[in-house]
């Protein structure tokens, strides 16, 4: 059984609430698929990717948020990527996925 959840409009990480935005110009202007801005409390995900890439990118940016709030930005990029991919795989194995179509 699959559980498709809508793209969250915001996520809570500690005492901070990050807005989640799906944008179509991130890759063009910033050369990336996702971004987290801790000052503006925003997570941006590039719109022009396939759903699995969006989902992995989303969890990657969530991991950066967790790292910033709870670990004082002490986790390296390679570890953030590994944690994001691991979380994505665990959630998929449980049948939980984000519905990027809505």
Q: What is the pLDDT of residue 32?
A: 77
pLDDT of residue 102 exceeding 90, the answer is no
Structure pTM? Answer: 0.92
Residue percentage of the chain with pLDDT more than 70: 95
75: DSSP letter = S
CA–CA dist 99, 96 (Å, integer)? 10
Res. 25 pLDDT band, cuts 50 70 90:
confident
Over residues 75-101, the pLDDT tens digits come to 999 999 999 999 999 999 999 999 998
Locate 25 and state its tokens: 């110009």
Q: What is the pLDDT of residue 101?
A: 86
DSSP structure string for 29-72: HHSSSEEEETTTTEEEEESSS-HHHHHHHHHHHHHHHHHHHHHS
CATH of region 3-99, choose from 1.10.3470, 1.20.140, 3.30.70, 1.10.10: 1.10.10
Over residues 32-77, the pLDDT tens digits come to 789 999 999 999 999 989 999 999 999 999 999 999 999 999 999 9
């Amino acid at each position: 059984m699959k559980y498709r959840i809508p793209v969250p409009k915001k996520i809570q990480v500690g005492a901070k609430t990050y807005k989640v935005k799906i944008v179509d110009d991130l890759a063009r202007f910033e050369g990336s698929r996702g971004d987290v801005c801790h000052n503006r409390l925003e997570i941006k995900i590039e719109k022009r990717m396939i759903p699995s890439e969006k989902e992995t990118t989303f969890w990657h940016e969530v991991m950066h948020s967790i790292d910033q709030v709870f670990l004082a930005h002490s986790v390296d990029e390679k570890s953030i990527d590994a944690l994001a991919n691991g979380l994505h795989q665990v959630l998929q194995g449980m049948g939980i996925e984000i519905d990027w179509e809505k």
